A and B are shown apart, each in its own frame.
Chain A
Amino acid sequence: MTSMTSEARKNPAIVVGALLAAPFLLFTLLALAPPSHAQETARAKALGARMMCTCGCNQVLTACNHVGCTSSAAMLKELDQRIAGGGSDDLILQSFIQEYGLTVLVDPPKRGFTALVWIAPIVLPFFALYLIWELVRRWRHRAVLSPAGGPPISPELLHRARSESDKDLDE
């Protein structure tokens, strides 16, 4: 023990290394330890919220509890089993995709053709905004000052109206 202490004094890198390794060690121990039920439930809820029920109800798996659903109870049980089996989230999702197809995912993958589902609703409004901008620019460019139809309001009348309305509004 004393030799270890003296060794550490001689070489502070050991202390630093031990301090850095401790959290990793703790993390590994926690990861290897069997998860508590509460953790499993929370994880099942989170993973279940990333999947659709496949009965055709168009609901998220954890939200689907409609009577007579032929899928959700079995899928949730399957999910619990796979979580207990110890796979990572991605691995579990992949196993569900293998079994049910891409349709089991709540969010379409953000790659390839399906990325379009995410891109279009963002790009199109900006494109429309650009069109409006262009439209407004053209309108303003074309705007020509011309006398209004009918006689103009006299400056005296307008001044009186403004002061009356300002008075009314300030009261």
Chain B
Amino acid sequence: MDIFGSFALLLAFLFAVYALVAGIVGILTRRALVTKSALNAGMAVCGLVALTVATLEYFFFTDDFSLAYVAAHSNRALPLYYKFSALWAGQEGSLLWWSFLLSIYVFFALFLNRKKHPELMPYVGAILAGVQVFFLTLNNFVANPFHVFAAANSAGAMNVARLSDGSGLNPLLQYPEMVIHPPMLYLGYTGFTIPFAFALAALLGRYPGEKWIHITRRWTMVAWCFQGIGVLLGAHWAYAVLGWGGYWAWDPVENAALLPWITGTAFLHSVMMQEKRGMMKVWNVWLVFVTFMLCILGTSLTRSGIVSSVHAFAESSIGGWFFGFLGIIFIVCLAAWWKNRDYLRSDNQLDSLVSRESSFLFNNLILLAACFAVLWGTLFPVLSEWVTGNKISVGPPFFNKVNVPIALFLIFLTGVGPLLAWRKTSVDALRRNFAWPLVGGLIAGVVAFAFGFRLFYPLVCLILSVFVTLTIVSEFYRGARVIASRDGSSILSAVGELTMRNTRRYGGYIVHFGMVLIFIGIAGSAFNQDIQREMAIGQTITVGPYTILCQNFDQVANDNYQSDRATLEVFRNGHSEMMLYPERRFFLASQVTETVVANESTPIRDLYVVYAGRSPETNKPVIHAYLNPLVKWIWFGGVVVVLGTGLAMFPDRRAALVLRPVAQKSWGDAIAQATTGSRAPSPIPNAPIRRSTPHND
């Protein structure tokens, strides 16, 4: 069976190589049949990698410990669902999983566009095949998961040996979220390959216009959304499993996942400037390139052991392969851009600093500043060691000090940007759009200050959050009111109608609102409280309004682990509120101990209790209790972001109504120009706004 898996993997590699070589030949010779066979080979890779993954899963599910990888990451007592997720618990399996997800993306990208864009797809196919060749090279020759144990028999011949049981899955990964988190994150990482391939293909083939952006918009949003879900699930896992009371520690691996999400966010915004005004073409192409390169850099940091992290895989020589690949990508991108840079000439210029375009410029500047700060802080210890010979730490306080002001400015732009008109915004429009949200934000700030809310950054965050929320609400309300008054419908149904008419714009607002919720949740961390104490039965500790009484300590066990468990009763104002059972589990197969946090979560605060083990001096159990305000807002905000992204991917309901003769400007155009607040004199400079909308995106 292991031979079958190895063979399928090798075949997948050969198909990918063929797809690459034939793809290049097809482009050079312009022979359609060669190109078509290359694209078909690219799609076939998906089936072969799927077979490989199925084979490896078969080994896990049948407890076949003849494979070294299975023996290292599973055991007989492991629950079935963790046997499935054990596939990506180690270096080899996670790289195979990466190849599998990538091959799914490639299959759909090639299949869905098989009859479209004949000038573009040969390039896309070749680029995607090139990326697949790299990962399948690693799967086959560097980190092959199908290595078997071998032992010599009495005659000296080597036979496959089977261990009776495996070492078990890392206890940190034995958590339901870990079944979902890595696939989500990998779907993000691998998903950015598609916009990268289309961008590079458009550049290499000098594909006209902004079509590559239209083709890849939804692909980018899918990848961005998965990356965001992956990051948030990772944060939630760290919060729920690691037991240190927080969800984000600016760990290099966390940072590596965040970086492409940040540049992806910048791209999703700046791309609108190219679509609407034909601007920022070079910028957008490079943003996609950088996003993809950050995906590769991120995974190389995780796997090379260059930066220390509790999340990282063991140190290995695989980092060199990734850095080599990164170098090749950079050279190819640079050469493609240099050769075709005249193709990326901007159609328009910026008319005013108070405009939607300039807000996107600032948005991009801020996002890239955040990206740079995170990358810089992550890599600086390595740089410092190279230059000075001294290894230093760049801890969470650095990232907080640098990124908190950046994040606040970003929230401000989240509120301001969408209300500015394209090209130029009049003072009247500014006053009309901003007055009430601004007043609302300031009132919220004054009220909060009066109630003793005095910390500077959380206070500013609150003011800006209220401001942004009000701008979003006012945008929905103003649009819906126009529809309601014209159609005679209720405001609520008008909101639905308005949203479905321009899903991208209003989905985007919902995403912004989700981000506001996340930022409020993060601001809550400024008010965290905690207490750690040795506790005997009958003793109490107090954190915030809660008094925690220790009722009992006992032990529970099953085939997988033995657990020390505390039984705690929580009182508030003298009344019993709940029972909590924090645990400390000892996993038998891996001989590793892990905490199971007891967390009572409400929208106001989390009461988060950890059984931190027994004191080495007194042997008394130690309980660490945290009171973390507003954490739930972060997870809820994440759900809102996902819903908003999903909505933004829906096609507009009004799309079919846009078709009309170009010869005559319509009532819709006049409404569009009137409602943007633009009072640009006629003749209108250069090209007009490309799409007529009652509300601009």
The answer to whether A140 touches B350 (Cβ under 8 A) is yes
B361 nearest CB neighbor, chain A only = A132
Nearest-neighbour CB distance to chain A for B595, whole angstroms, equals: 5
Those of B374-392 within 8 Å (CB) of chain A: 376-377, 380-381, 384, 387-388, 390-392
Chain A residues lying within 8 Å of B667, measured Cβ to Cβ, are 157, 161
Q: Report the Cα distance A142→B610, complex, angstroms.
A: 63
- Known contacts A65-B624, A107-B397, A121-B402, A165 near B671 by CB under 8 Å: yes
Chain A residues lying within 8 Å of B351, measured Cβ to Cβ, are 140, 143
A67 at the interface (CB under 8 A from B): yes
Query: Please, how many residues of chain B have a CB less than 8 angstroms from a CB on the other chain?
Result: 78
B689 nearest CB neighbor, chain A only = A148
The answer to whether B252 touches A58 (Cβ under 8 A) is yes
B353 at the interface (CB under 8 A from A): yes
Nearest-neighbour CB distance to chain B for A87, whole angstroms, equals: 22
Q: Mark A138-153, 1 if CB is under 8 A from B, else 0.
A: 0110111111111111
B334 at the interface (CB under 8 A from A): no
B482 at the interface (CB under 8 A from A): yes
A109 nearest CB neighbor, chain B only = B392
- Known contacts A67-B243, A114-B384, A165-B675, A146 near B685 by CB under 8 Å: yes
- Known contacts A58-B310, A106-B393, A117-B394, A73 near B616 by CB under 8 Å: yes
The answer to whether A161 touches B673 (Cβ under 8 A) is yes
Chain A residues lying within 8 Å of B394, measured Cβ to Cβ, are 108, 117
Chain B residues lying within 8 Å of A73, measured Cβ to Cβ, are 616
Q: Mark B578-600, 1 if CB is under 8 A from A, else 0.
A: 00000010000000111100000
A50 nearest CB neighbor, chain B only = B397
The answer to whether A142 touches B349 (Cβ under 8 A) is yes
B249 nearest CB neighbor, chain A only = A59
Chain B residues lying within 8 Å of A129, measured Cβ to Cβ, are 365
The number of A-B residue pairs with CB atoms under 8 Å apart is 199
- Known contacts A153-B670, A169-B478, A148 near B662 by CB under 8 Å: no
The answer to whether B244 touches A56 (Cβ under 8 A) is no
B682 at the interface (CB under 8 A from A): yes
Chain B residues lying within 8 Å of A151, measured Cβ to Cβ, are 663-665
Those of A105-150 within 8 Å (CB) of chain B: 105-109, 112-114, 116-118, 120-122, 124-125, 128-129, 132, 135-136, 139-140, 142-150
The answer to whether A108 touches B671 (Cβ under 8 A) is no
The answer to whether B398 touches A152 (Cβ under 8 A) is no
The answer to whether B485 touches A171 (Cβ under 8 A) is yes
The answer to whether A103 touches B398 (Cβ under 8 A) is no
Q: Report the Cα distance A64→B246, complex, angstroms.
A: 10
A167 nearest CB neighbor, chain B only = B485
Q: Report the Cα distance A58→B669, complex, angstroms.
A: 56
The answer to whether B395 touches A124 (Cβ under 8 A) is no
Partner of B593, one of A68, A113, A120, A140: A68
B488 at the interface (CB under 8 A from A): no
Partner of A148, one of B350, B674, B684: B684
A66 at the interface (CB under 8 A from B): yes
The answer to whether A139 touches B350 (Cβ under 8 A) is yes
Nearest-neighbour CB distance to chain A for B302, whole angstroms, equals: 13
Residue pairs across A and B with Cβ atoms less than 8 A apart, 19 shown, are: A64-B244, A66-B242, A66-B595, A101-B391, A105-B392, A108-B398, A113-B384, A116-B380, A121-B372, A136-B358, A140-B349, A140-B350, A140-B351, A144-B685, A145-B683, A150-B665, A154-B665, A161-B674, A166-B674
Instruction: Known pairs A60-B395, A140-B349; list 8 more (Cβ under 8 Å).
Output: A63-B246, A64-B244, A102-B393, A108-B398, A121-B402, A140-B350, A161-B673, A162-B674
- A contacts, CB < 8 Å to B: 49, 52, 56-60, 63-68, 73, 101-109, 112-114, 116-118, 120-122, 124-125, 128-129, 132, 135-136, 139-140, 142-154, 157-158, 160-162, 164-166, 168-169, 171
